[in-house]
Amino acid sequence: MTRGVCAAGDPTTADVGARILRAGGNAVDAAVAATFASFVAEPGRVHLGGSGMGHVFDAATGRATAFDFFSATPGLGATRPERLDFRAIEIDFGDAQQWFHVGRASVAVPGNVFGLAAMADVHGRLPWAELLAPAIDLAATGIVLNEAQADTVRLLEEIYTLEPGIASVFAPDGRLIGVGDRYFVPGLSDLLRTIATDGVTAIRTGAIAREIVADQRTNGGLLTARDLADYEAVPTTPVAVRYRGRDVLVPPPPSTGGLLIAVGLRVMQAFDVAALGRGSAEHYALLAETMAAMDRARGEWAVARAAAPDARAAVDRLFADDACAARVDAVRAGTLRARRDDPASPRGPGETTHVSTLDADGNAASITNSSGIASGFLLPGGLILNSILGEADLHPQGFHVDPPGARIETMMAPTVVCNDGALELALGSGGSSRIRTAMLQVISNVLDFGLDVDAAVAAPRLHLEGTRVEIEAGFDPGAVDAFAAAGYAANRWTIRSAYFGGAHVVGRDAEGRLHGAGDDRRGGAVAHA
């Protein structure tokens, strides 16, 4: 009998999830253990000192719960240092360059341990220490880099050689590690053992917390002891939208990405997408115009959030009938096509990963995780912290302007899809602004066109950046010609690329069989238990 399935950003990560399922763990146990394993197995994408969002579907109750453990703005209980360690770094993505900020003042409150512990405590079955054991074993020996891992490390070479401590891990002999080399972080295994023994206390007030705070205080950071002591992972009620007779459940704020996926689905619900024909010029046009509506909705959300008394009231305002109808009208009118400016499209980094799990009882868990591009330094105890305060896309009003304690908004959107109260899909993606467009297309591929999860994930994607439509290799050239002739600015790619996200999906088909798909754009893999 199949005990379950795990889809993740690396074969090792997925195998850990399957191993926990075979040991009697449920979907949440498997997702938590796999996420801890990813902090070792997916260098360049995630590290222990990052943050995330989770989503759990409980088959016994038929209820879904989102878990917010994304970063908060630091600085509680302290005055800002005169000198901030906040450095601009240019990353070369080949076709374009993009600026990021790293250093101690790029570090936001790391939520990972808090959130994973909360998910395991509320919904898990196995002991906490058992969930960390695979990651501890991996960290004790390190991993040998495969091509996908090495590519990500190479992309972020300037970050990983910024200071001697972190360079000793990523370039131990003065040469950046690559395919076939061992990635090993001294102290990380012991650090994970401490978390296995002490739980959240280790990072709230314990030895790890003290090391973080001392380094921040000495070296121009903003994170304080109170930031860690006061931080909580927050279980929340998902936002639900009906699409093709299913309930699509996305995390609420601070997940802006979840709201924008829901906006896109509300738009597409008004159209007979299947009748357009998958991969037709008309299909491309609908997707592009829907993505334009999603982009505009991000601004509408900012207005609603400022005017509403609380986040839930702002969500209601965003999804008011007149607002949804106006978006559908704009899509029908083809307002994107009428615009002619053509900005350059940045090639964002692969700094986010995802795990999806489903067990034989129908429970599911979906966890998205990020450390930004990493802060560029290594604490002596083996901890690499996030650079979430240095991500411009997360701080449109500017850096270091949000009040201490405020939750930072994120594009992460771990999602579950239910059919008549039973789990049909659990999915999520990395990819910054491409998270929402990747997931919109995967969901539509399954629910509009009846593709299985493998085909739905593998299908070529497009993404709207500004007014230019980035079109991945694999689309029909004639349809792209017709799409461009209709007035759209189309940029044709000759490759499949991690730029278009990394959607890792699990699901149950109509016959009750469990399936999974790992997106090979970002090293994805699937393991069955």
Q: Is residue 244 part of a domain?
A: yes
Q: Within a domain: residue 455?
A: yes
DSSP label at residue 139: H
On whether residue 166 sits in a domain, the answer given is no
The reply to whether 283 falls in a domain is yes
Q: How far apart are CA 14 and CA 524, in angstroms?
A: 9
3-state secondary structure at position 137: helix
- List the beta bridge partners of residue 63: 58
Judge whether 33 lies within some domain: no
Three-state DSSP state, 464: strand
Dist CA 379 CA 368 (whole Å): 24
Whose tokens are 């509320």? That residue is: 122
Q: Is 247 exposed, middle or buried (0-12, 13-18, 19+ CB in 10 A)?
A: middle
Residue 225 identity: A
The answer for residues whose C-beta is within 8 angstroms of residue 34's C-beta and 6 or more apart is 6, 8, 13, 14, 16, 17, 20, 355, 357
Q: Residue 396 domain-assigned?
A: no
Q: Tell me the two tokens of residue 38.
A: 């990813």
Go through 403-441 and write b for each residue having 16 or more CB atoms within 10 A of its CB, e for each that does not.
Answer: ebbebbbbbbbbbbbbeeeebbbbbbbbbbbbbbbbbbb
* Per-residue confidence in pLDDT tens, the chain, 529 aa: 689 999 999 999 999 999 999 999 999 999 999 999 999 999 988 999 999 999 999 999 999 999 999 999 999 999 999 899 999 988 765 555 577 899 999 999 999 999 999 999 999 999 999 999 999 999 999 999 999 899 989 989 999 999 999 999 999 999 999 999 999 999 999 999 999 999 999 999 999 999 999 999 999 999 999 999 999 999 999 999 999 999 999 999 999 999 999 999 999 999 999 999 999 999 999 999 999 999 999 999 999 999 998 999 999 999 999 999 999 999 999 999 887 554 444 444 447 899 999 999 999 999 999 999 999 999 999 999 999 999 888 888 899 999 999 999 999 999 999 999 999 999 999 988 899 999 999 999 999 999 999 999 999 999 999 999 999 999 999 999 999 999 999 999 999 998 899 999 999 998 889 999 999 999 999 999 9
How far from the centroid of its chain's Cα atoms is residue 215's Cα?
A: 28
Kind plus residue range of the DSSP H or E element containing 100: strand 97-102
For residue 290, tell me if it sits in a domain. Answer: yes
CA torsion 225→228→230→231, rounded to 10°? 160
CB 488 within 8 A of CB 114: no
E-strand ranges in 371-450 read 415-419, 422-430
Q: How many structural domains does the chain have? A: 1
Phi, psi values for residue 96, rounded to 5°: -155, 160
Number of neighbours of residue 461 by Cβ within 10 angstroms: 27
Question: At 302, is the secondary structure helix, strand, or coil?
Answer: helix
Contacts 24+ apart (CB under 8 A), 333-337: 334/285, 334/289, 334/487, 335/289, 335/292, 336/288, 336/289, 336/292, 336/464, 336/467, 336/488, 337/285, 337/289, 337/486, 337/487, 337/488
Q: Which domain holds residue 255?
A: 236-348+413-528
Q: Count other C-beta atoms under 10 Å from residue 495's C-beta.
A: 10
CATH number at 467 reads 3.60.20.40
Asked if residue 142 is part of any domain, the answer here is no
Give the β-pairing of 468-471 and 489-492.
parallel
Catalytic positions, written as ranges = 352
pTM: 0.96
